């Protein structure tokens, strides 16, 4: 049986969890085609992502003329189905923040994907993220194409439920995946009770690169690492404030920020203003091997997120035996148990974050290692990409019977 994955941007530096999931689903015996709306080839640094790039087809590569010609062809050869899809695109576009014109472009993208699905024998589309990729998948179905399902991560989908037509997408989907119990609860808010059974929890996972690492002792030097895109929701600016406060109290430590993004310049300016250039390093985008190395070189992972789904970087750190500091946001408390495998602080609160980091610095290395060991056990039990991918594959097989 053949399915397709659809993502707005894929492969992408921060989407290694999708790559792992596809590999696990393919291992179940399904043939998987990779479709994406647009390419981010210039940002890729990981060899595994570069291999995925070769296997991925990009809708916008057909160009404006290709979109227009395919739109006209589907309109002429499937007038009734095209009319149904057009009405839906205009209806949800009217309520969206992006408007009807953009949704007409989504319909053109759906026309291209419909032809690809017919050519490739695709029986089902699975979209990641409940935003525009799922809109396109839903329009493909309305055009007479295959059924669809989608994975919701948050927080973006929950910030603009009506604007992205999330209730309509849930109603029309074969099933919907949440990456945490918290995420499932939010989806249940936006559909009738008789649809709750179609909302399944399949957690993001880590693979053998992290799960099968031999336990390594923590470094003796006090050190933190933060892995994540440099953007507003990850809380980096608050983290720099906390680091400055610790430094002003005479605490000695290193902090490595692994990632890049739109907030890099403000973060660098804040580091300069507080005189922390000797203590804080920004690496830029990193490959999977480089992320692993940075995690192993730190005592504790810290990610003071303001908004999240459930960060894969926390799973990776715990899998490597590194305790974590994070926040009481979304699915994070389902993974991080305070005083067992890390610390949690209220999102956006400076003093509790400082207190958590200070506590980590004061904890003996042997105790940190024990916390890391307990965290690794939790990840192995709940976040194996092979196990979670098999759960998702079972849902596909059920749908395709």
* 195-198 contacts at long range (C-beta below 8 A, 24 or more positions apart): 195/170, 195/171, 198/170, 198/173, 198/174
Q: 278 with 272: CB under 8 angstroms?
A: no
Model pLDDT, residue 215: 76
Q: Please, are residues 335 and 314 in contact by the beta-carbon 8 Å criterion?
A: yes
* Complete DSSP assignment for 23-37: HHHHHTT-EEEEEEE
Residue 14 pLDDT? 80
Per DSSP bridges, beta strands 124-128 and 56-58 are unpaired
DSSP annotation of 206 reads B
Confidence (pLDDT) at 209: 80
Which option is the CATH number for 2-205+384-399: 3.30.565.10, 3.40.50.1980, 3.40.50.2000, 3.90.700.10?
3.40.50.2000
Q: How much is the pLDDT for 247?
A: 97
Residue 151 has φ and ψ, to the nearest 5°, of -105, 130
- b/e 89-102 (16+ beta carbons within 10 angstroms → b): beebbeebebeeee
Tokens of 39: 């390419």
Two structure tokens written together for 342? 């890390």
Cα within 13 Å of Cα(299), Cβ side: 21
pLDDT of residue 277: 96
CA atoms of 150 and 133, how far apart (whole Å) = 9
Q: What is residue 344's three-state secondary structure? A: strand
Q: What is the pLDDT of residue 210?
A: 85
pLDDT tens, position by position, 305-346: 999 999 999 999 999 999 999 999 999 999 999 999 999 999
Give SS3 for 307.
coil
Q: Kindly report the number of other CB atoms within 10 A of residue 67's CB atom.
A: 18
Outline which parts of the chain fall under CATH 3.40.50.2000: 2-205+384-399, 209-382
Structure tokens at 299: 């005592």
- Residue numbers in the chain where pLDDT is lower than 50: none
Give me the pLDDT at residue 401, please.
79
- Span 209-382 CATH architecture: 3-Layer(aba) Sandwich (3.40)
pLDDT at residue number 176: 98
């Amino acid at each position: 049986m053949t399915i397709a994955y659809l993502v707005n941007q894929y492969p992408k530096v921060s989407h290694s969890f999708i790559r792992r999931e596809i590999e696990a689903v393919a291992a179940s015996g399904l043939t998987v085609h990779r479709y994406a709306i647009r390419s981010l080839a210039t940002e890729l640094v990981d060899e595994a992502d570069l291999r995925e790039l070769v296997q991925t087809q990009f809708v916008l590569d057909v160009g404006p003329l290709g979109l227009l010609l395919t739109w006209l062809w589907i309109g002429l050869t499937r007038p009734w189905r095209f009319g149904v899809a057009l009405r839906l695109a205009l209806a949800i576009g009217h309520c969206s923040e992006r408007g009807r014109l953009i949704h007409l472009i989504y319909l053109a993208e759906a026309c291209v994907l419909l032809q690809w699905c017919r050519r490739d024998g695709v029986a089902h589309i699975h979209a990641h993220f409940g935003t525009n990729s799922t809109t396109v998948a839903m329009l493909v179905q309305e055009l007479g194409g295959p059924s669809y399902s989608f994975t919701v991560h948050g927080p973006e989908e929950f910030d603009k439920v009506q604007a992205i037509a999330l209730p309509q997408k849930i109603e029309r989907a074969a099933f919907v995946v949440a990456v945490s119990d918290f995420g499932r609860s939010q989806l249940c808010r936006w559909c009738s009770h008789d649809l709750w059974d179609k909302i399944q929890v399949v957690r993001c996972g880590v693979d053998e690169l992290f799960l099968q690492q031999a336990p390594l002792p923590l470094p003796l030097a006090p050190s933190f690492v933060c892995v994540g895109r440099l953007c507003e929701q990850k809380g980096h600016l608050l983290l720099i404030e906390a680091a400055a406060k610790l430094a002003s109290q005479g605490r000695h430590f290193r902090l490595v920020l692994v990632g890049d993004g739109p907030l890099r310049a403000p973060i660098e300016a804040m580091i300069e203003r507080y005189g922390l250039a000797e203590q804080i390093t920004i690496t830029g985008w990193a490959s999977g091997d480089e992320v692993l190395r940075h995690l192993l070189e730190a005592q504790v992972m810290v990610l003071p997120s303001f908004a999240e789904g459930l960060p894969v970087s926390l799973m990776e750190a715990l899998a490597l035996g590194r305790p974590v500091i994070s926040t009481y946001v979304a699915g994070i408390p389902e993974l991080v148990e305070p005083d067992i495998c890390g610390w949690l602080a209220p999102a956006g609160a400076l003093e509790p974050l400082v207190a958590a980091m200070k506590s980590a610095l004061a904890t003996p290395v042997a105790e940190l290692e024990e916390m890391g060991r307990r965290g690794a056990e939790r990840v192995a039990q709940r976040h194996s990409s092979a196990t979670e991918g098999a759960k998702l594959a079972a849902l596909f097989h059920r749908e395709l019977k």
